[in-house]
Amino acid sequence: MGITVEGANKRFGDFQALKDVSISVPDGSLTALLGPSGSGKSTLLRAIAGLEDLDSGRVVINDEDATAKPPQRRGVGFVFQHYAAFKHMTVFENVGFGLKIRKWKKPEISDRVHELLRLVQLDGLAGRFPSQLSGGQRQRMALARALAVQPQVLLLDEPFGALDAKVRKDLRTWLRHLHEEMHVTTIFVTHDQEEAMDVAEQLVVMNNGQVEQSGTANELYEQPANEFVMSFVGEVNRLGDDFVRPHDMDVVLDPDEHTQEGLVQRIVALGFEIRVEFVLGDGTEVWAQLTRGELQRLELREGQIAYLRPSQAKSFNGPPPSDPQGASTPPGPDDGGDAEVSAAV
Amino acid sequence: MRLPGVGAGLGRGLVGLYLSVIVLLPLAAVVNQSMEGGLGAFWDAVTSPQAVASLKLTVICSLIVVVINAIFGTIIAWILVRDNFPGKAAVNAVIDLPFALPTIVASLTLLALYGSDSPFGVDIAFTRAAVVVALLFVTLPFVVRAVQPLLLEMDREMEAAAASLGAGGFTIFRRIIFPNLLPGLAAGVALAFARALGEYGSVLLFAGGLPDTQVSSVFIRSQIESGNDLGASAVSVVLLVASLVLLASVTLIQRWGSRHERSSGGGLTAMPISGDVLTEDKPKERDDE
Amino acid sequence: MNNSTASRWGLRTLGLGYLALLLLAPLVLIFFKTFEDGLAPPIDAITSPDGLHALKLTLLMVAVSVPINTIFGVGCALLLVRHRWKGNPVIDAIINLPFAISPIVIGLSLFLLYGTDGWFGPTLADAGIKILFSVPGMILASIFVSLPFVVRETVPVLQEIGTDQEQAATTLGANARQTFLRITLPAIRWGVAYGVVLTTARVLGEFGAVTIVSGSINGQTQTLPLFVEKQYANFNQAGAYGASLVLALLALATLLAMNLLKRKEA
């Protein structure tokens, strides 16, 4: 059950969007495809929906090979980044479209549509046109429309990408609750790691058309497979071959054999969190994340010398790098980071 | 909607067949007829004194017309976009009248207006001035409709920026506004020129077919009526070549005009000759953004 | 009055004055001229058998040419926009040709193709089919001159709506026909309608091409524009102006429709 993609390849002209990608998404899970622009995550999602034909590879949905099936017969609900609202139809007609295609009777359509509109909190707006809705409302309408046909899987392409920050946050929480209620296998695409970690149970990190690593938010943060994943899922400093999270950067006033000397260049107070920026002897710029209390205790001033000691560091030495950033694979529980990873989620 | 692969091939076949029957075969017949007697006969027909006179008259009148069009078309577009006066919407609507009014009706009324019965006392019927006025009438919308959307889209802050840098009104127009209107203006002028070269109906009653006022299309008609198919075809081929050159230049102008990523086409309302199909149909990178 | 108001009034006077002399005056004059000698003469001319026949034939031209070019136009626009092909620029260029070619040359081309010495003329004549100097030839001319409008108006609208809505319909289970009828067509309808209006106006008013292929035979192959010319040539001013008024009213209706559609589109 769930969704499996095996050895997917897709090329657009000179651009290889997917390079031998394999993922498997368990039944009923909420999974995020995370990656920067051009990483291939949307292409992968569209290939699962059948909106993009693969050059090679297989898509299996709930134990059925869907590779050759047209989108109409894959039983997927797809939510588009820019909503793809049917502009000439009311909210009611939009949500009821799939049911009408399936030749449902009018009263049944009406019941189902109103049930869904209540679910997405749009019940009072059934008679409006998409142009009369806000962005968040349009996106909820698009979601109701996708859910109306009771899809086996729900696919969302950057569902919150076009919304402002506040609405994004609300919809995020709301999507998580919705998933808890409906338990339909859900994959959503995002480039925002905070969003992915907030909403998803499982994450698949993609870069340059390949899967870099997959796992829970915690696994990715604590045991990143390579430099790319490490820097994509959180802030990172580079000290020689070591990569250190800013909150793992201890600042002390007395040097010992484990510390490095740094000049305090700038101290930025971001509420509770304090960001202290250093320049090291070799010119490297790094920063440490301190609490207000730590800063007061250290009495740091801009322009003074202090000493840095990483409390936890990672280095990715080993087999040749799998991505152009030069990150490489550590021996890890996930054995991720390999170009041809079969990312079991 | 995308057609399935086979459907697209079939569609292309049908489109090709339709265009061949409706457009290409007839035009091929003209070219074929013009070459009936070989290149020599073609050349003789094109260089006959009457043919040369008609072509010369057509080109000169058309040039005068596009120059006047460029100036007044820009002024009219300007007042429609930047000025405000009662009845502006109606004026804007009436600009397209020459596209909607049959040319023979235009010819008849221009004759009544500026002929021997002129209420203004202006009698220019059956003169070369009448040719120019008739062509001005039918080509009026081209420049207006090509310039108007560019003017509408233009970022007013560019002008404010230029003013803040010390540019005066005329300098702003010459250095900021005009260069931005130029692609639309050029495309409009080229389309108006093509239309003027081939115009027939509006000239017919107003300017007539006197030896002095015989434009090429009227000349071709007279050749057909006197059974001289070769003469008619030869001059037609000259006009045809001119049309092709002008169409190609419009496409090039638009490609050049969109080099600053301005929305292409300039919205030539009734006659958008678009090269956009060529440039915008690249494979979409289906990821993100 | 400062400098800028002066130049504004100057431009306004110049532009509007030009329009008044070139556009408005002729339009107003048609009404005056038509009813110069009372209501009877123009009405008699229009309701004469030849006048009525011309009106009917003009409407027939519209009834046949417009649907054909609309179906072709929408189909062709879909091909150009939705299906990348190296031949598209060529198709695009051919479609634009009728915009730039003289109507007289178009008339001549059909005259040569279907004439007694033409490529198709003799064969069709043997089969008993008459194209030239009869209605089929006039319809071919009308189709030729009005070919580009629907394509040109539909292409940008199709590009603008993109494929998202169509794909959404697909994922919701709609097949190609359902997607076209329920999603694509409603989304492009105002653009298509605008193209239809322009096509209609062009067919109604076409003179040059039709005049060559029709022979302008009274009561047989005479559309309204040809009727206007014939009436004028026969010194029947009332008839010429009466028919002109009918055509001018149709032109005004066209402008009205264009404006309404432009507002719908926005």
Average pLDDT, chain B: 82
Please report the pLDDT score of residue B55 as a whole number.
92
Q: Average pLDDT in the A44-68 region?
A: 92
Cβ burial of C57 (10 Å; 0-12, 13-18, 19+) is: buried
Q: Contact A55/A84 with Cβ under 8 angstroms?
A: no
> Residue C6: pLDDT band by 50, 70, 90 thresholds?
confident
DSSP code, position A322: S
Please report the pLDDT score of residue C69 as a whole number.
93
**Minimum Cα–Cα distance from C184: chain A residue:** A86
Query: For C43, how many CA atoms within 13 A lie in the half-sphere containing its CB?
Result: 5
Q: Could you tell me which chains touch chain C, where touching means 3 or more CB pairs under 8 A?
A: A, B
Q: Which residues in chain A are contacts of C160 at CB distance < 8 A?
A: none
The alpha carbon dihedral of A292, A294, A300, A306 has a sign of negative
Residue B51, domain member (yes or no): yes
**Minimum Cα–Cα distance from A207: chain B residue:** B287
Q: What is the pLDDT of residues A61-91, one digit of tens each?
A: 999 999 998 888 888 999 998 888 998 899 9
Q: Average pLDDT in the C160-176 region?
A: 90
Beta-carbon contacts of C153 under 8 Å, excluding residues fewer than 6 positions away, are B272, C73, C191, C192, C194, C195, C198
Average pLDDT, chain A: 85
Whether chain A has a CB inside 8 Å of the CB on C182: the answer is yes
Q: What is the pLDDT of residues B46-91, one digit of tens each?
A: 888 888 989 999 999 999 999 999 999 999 999 999 888 888 888 8
* Among B2, B102, B251, beta carbon nearest to C207: B102
The alpha carbon dihedral of B71, B73, B76, B82 has a sign of negative
Lowest-confidence segment of A123-132, A207-216, C29-38 by average pLDDT? C29-38
Please report the pLDDT score of residue A92 as a whole number.
94
In A131-160, the residues whose Cβ lies within 8 Å of chain C are 142, 145-146, 148-149
pLDDT surpassing 50 at residue B268: no
B185 three-class SS? helix
Please report the pLDDT score of residue B8 as a whole number.
80
Please report the pLDDT score of residue C2 as a whole number.
56
Q: Contact A226/A206 with Cβ under 8 angstroms?
A: no
Highest mean pLDDT among A256-260, C120-124, C153-157: C153-157
- Tell me what percent of the residues of chain A surpass a pLDDT of 90: 36
Beta bridge partners of A204: A33, A214
Residue B119, domain member (yes or no): no
Residue corresponding to tokens 């009213």: C249
**Minimum Cα–Cα distance from B200: chain C residue:** C208
pLDDT surpassing 50 at residue A123: yes
Measured between CA atoms, how close is A244 to chain B, in angstroms? Answer: 30
- Percent of chain C as helix, strand, coil, to the nearest 5: 80, 0, 20
Q: Which residues in chain C are contacts of B14 at CB distance < 8 A?
A: 75
Residue B71, domain member (yes or no): yes
pLDDT surpassing 90 at residue B137: yes
The better pLDDT of the pair A51, A1 is held by: A51
**Minimum Cα–Cα distance from B285: chain A residue:** A12
CA–CA separation, C257 and B44 (whole Å): 49
B47 three-class SS? coil
In B121-150, the residues whose Cβ lies within 8 Å of chain A are none
Q: What is the pLDDT of residues A96-117, one digit of tens each?
A: 999 998 999 999 999 999 999 9
- Tell me what percent of the residues of chain A surpass a pLDDT of 70: 92
Q: Average pLDDT in the A137-145 region?
A: 91
Q: Contact A228/A207 with Cβ under 8 angstroms?
A: yes
Residue B288, domain member (yes or no): no
> Residue B10: pLDDT band by 50, 70, 90 thresholds?
confident
Cα distances (angstroms) measured from residue A141 to each of A130, C112, C178:
9, 60, 21
Q: Average pLDDT in the B223-251 region?
A: 89
- Tell me what percent of the residues of chain C surpass a pLDDT of 90: 32
DSSP code, position B21: I
Number of domains in chain B: 1
> Residue B260: pLDDT band by 50, 70, 90 thresholds?
low
Q: Average pLDDT in the C98-111 region?
A: 91
Cα distances (angstroms) measured from residue A111 to each of A106, A133, A139, C137:
9, 22, 21, 58
Q: Which residues in chain B are contacts of A36 at CB distance < 8 A?
A: 288
Nearest to A81 by CA among A221, A188, A174, A183: A188
CA–CA separation, A281 and A308 (whole Å): 12
**Minimum Cα–Cα distance from C177: chain B residue:** B1
CA–CA separation, C94 and B251 (whole Å): 13
Q: What is the pLDDT of residues B144-179, one digit of tens each?
A: 988 988 888 887 778 878 777 777 777 888 888 888
Q: Read off the tokens for C6.
A: 């002066």
Which CATH number goes with the domain that contains B224? Answer: 1.10.3720.10
Q: Average pLDDT in the A34-41 region?
A: 91
Q: What is the pLDDT of residues B197-229, one digit of tens each?
A: 999 999 988 888 788 888 999 999 998 888 888
Cα distances (angstroms) measured from residue C55 to each of C40, C52, C240, C244, C257:
18, 5, 13, 11, 21
C50 three-class SS? helix
Please report the pLDDT score of residue A335 as a whole number.
38
User: Do the chains contact at C170 and A51, CB–CB below 8 Å?
Assistant: yes
Q: Could you tell me which chains touch chain B, where touching means 3 or more CB pairs under 8 A?
A: A, C
Q: Could you tell me which chains touch chain A, where touching means 3 or more CB pairs under 8 A?
A: B, C
Q: Which residues in chain A are contacts of C182 at CB distance < 8 A?
A: 97
Residue B22, domain member (yes or no): no
Q: What is the pLDDT of residues C142-153, one digit of tens each?
A: 999 999 999 999
pLDDT surpassing 50 at residue B281: no
**Minimum Cα–Cα distance from B197: chain C residue:** C102
Q: Which residues in chain B are contacts of A38 at CB distance < 8 A?
A: 285, 287-288
- The domain ranges of chain C are 1-28, 35-265
CA–CA separation, A206 and A202 (whole Å): 13
Whether chain B has a CB inside 8 Å of the CB on C35: the answer is no
> Residue C61: pLDDT band by 50, 70, 90 thresholds?
very high
Q: Average pLDDT in the B262-270 region?
A: 38
In B166-195, the residues whose Cβ lies within 8 Å of chain C are 169, 191, 194-195
- Tell me what percent of the residues of chain B surpass a pLDDT of 90: 24
Please report the pLDDT score of residue A113 as a whole number.
94
CA torsion angle for C34, C40, C42, C43 (degrees, to 10)? 130
pLDDT surpassing 90 at residue A163: no
Extended beta strands in chain C, E state: none
Q: Average pLDDT in the A41-57 region?
A: 92
Measured between CA atoms, how close is B249 to chain A, in angstroms? Answer: 30
Residue B117, domain member (yes or no): no
Nearest to B247 by CA among B168, B284, B193: B193
According to the 3-state scheme, what is the secondary structure of C166-206?
A: HHHHHHCCCCHHHHHHHHHHHHHHHHHHHHHHHHHHHHHHC
- Tell me what percent of the residues of chain C surpass a pLDDT of 70: 98
Q: Contact C139/C64 with Cβ under 8 angstroms?
A: yes
Q: What is the pLDDT of residues A275-331, one digit of tens each?
A: 999 998 888 888 999 888 888 888 888 888 899 888 888 888 755 444 444 333 343
User: Do the chains contact at C92 and B72, CB–CB below 8 Å?
Assistant: no
Residue B67, domain member (yes or no): yes
Residue B207, domain member (yes or no): no
Q: Which CATH superfamily is domain C35-265 in?
A: MetI-like (1.10.3720.10)
B174: containing domain: 40-103+135-202+214-273
The alpha carbon dihedral of B254, B255, B260, B265 has a sign of positive
